[in-house]
Amino acid sequence: MDVQRLELLRELAERHSVTAVARATHRTPSAVSQQLKVLEREAGLPLTERSGRGLVLTDAGRALARSATDVAVALERATAVWDEFRNRATGEVSLVTFPTAGQMLLPGVLQQLAAHTGLIVKCTDMDPELSDFPALTSDFDIVLAHSMRGQVPWGGRGLTVVPLMTEPLDVGLPTDHRLAGRASVGAADVVGETWIGVPDGFPFERIVHEIEQQGGGRVQVSQRFADMRLVEAFIMAGLGIALVPRYTSGGSQPGRLVLKPLRGVDAERQIVALMRPDRAERLAVRTVIDALRTRAARVQAEHTS
């Protein structure tokens, strides 16, 4: 029973295609196919089935892939042991973020991690609109994702979830708005306004529905943007109001945008780090995660004081 082969099976379970596995593991499809065949012969029962053009795993294949994860975890834990003996995290850690979290956390994190020589962090940003967060864990060590409170759609998939911070979502208004003087606003105050929304399927969506229910009316959404800068620009131009994450707003032109807490509505988003459990064991990865957590805590502390 070879670990490499198990790893291949696990990749196949995630990527659903021999060619995709081959690309991800820097091999030819032929090599992957051959190894899977050997694994099946060893197992003595079919692990894969043809399904049209591609391959799917059988029940046995899925079960084996699942326990392959445990093997990978144990292995990574072993390498972490000796990393700890050398007292240094080493190697490359890849990370994807959505723009706002990256802007808020990454500069500070990378400055903090500069002290660790030999630790290289490769960051990428990805539009949350296009990205399926759990799927990204196949290609990146750490995936920064956001979700609404309580809602953890990635628990069941066997992924490791590390909560980083919960960020309140406020209502962003232009400084000359009629509500700009209030300390906070309620659903009834804002339900009649023109809104700038987020693309369909975004977690914020649920909050807008809640405002409609509590405020008793229909929200008018004039535009839908994924990029917060764009949203803020529209607010400041007086073209509508919008939900804005509290810690990441402003920056561009302070003084022309005010944020008002939303009373009576559970308006928070959780920012979490998502990882494949084996990746989460690496000392280098854990070091980055620690830096992310301390940085997130500091950001939150700075805003509450």
Where on the chain is the footprint of a second copy (CB under 8 A)?
1, 3, 6, 43-45, 59-60, 63-64, 66-68, 70-71, 73-75, 77-79, 81-82, 85-86
- How many Å apart are CA 117 and CA 136, to the nearest integer? 27
Which spans of this chain sit near DNA (rule: CB under 7 A)? 2, 4, 17-20, 26-31, 33-38, 48, 50, 52-55
Give me 1's structure tokens: 């029973």
- How many Å apart are CA 167 and CA 303, to the nearest integer? 10
Residue number with CB closer to DNA (47 or 211): 47
Residue number with CB closer to a second copy (14 or 125): 14
- How many Å apart are CA 188 and CA 190, to the nearest integer? 6
Residue 36 partner contact from a second copy, DNA, none using kind-dependent CB cut-offs of 5 to 8 Å: DNA
257 by Cβ neighbours in 10 Å (0-12 / 13-18 / 19+) ranks as buried
Residue number with CB closer to DNA (61 or 245): 61
What's the min distance (Å) between Cβ of 230 and a second copy?
46
Residue number with CB closer to DNA (6 or 265): 6
Q: How far is CA 120 from the centre of its chain?
A: 20
Residue number with CB closer to DNA (11 or 232): 11
Where are the extended beta strands (E) located within the chain? 48-51, 54-57, 91-97, 119-125, 142-148, 160-174, 185-186, 194-197, 220-224, 242-245, 257-260, 262-263, 268-275
Residue 17 partner contact from DNA, a second copy, none using kind-dependent CB cut-offs of 5 to 8 Å: DNA
- Amino acid letter, 219: V
Residue 74 partner contact from a second copy, DNA, none using kind-dependent CB cut-offs of 5 to 8 Å: a second copy
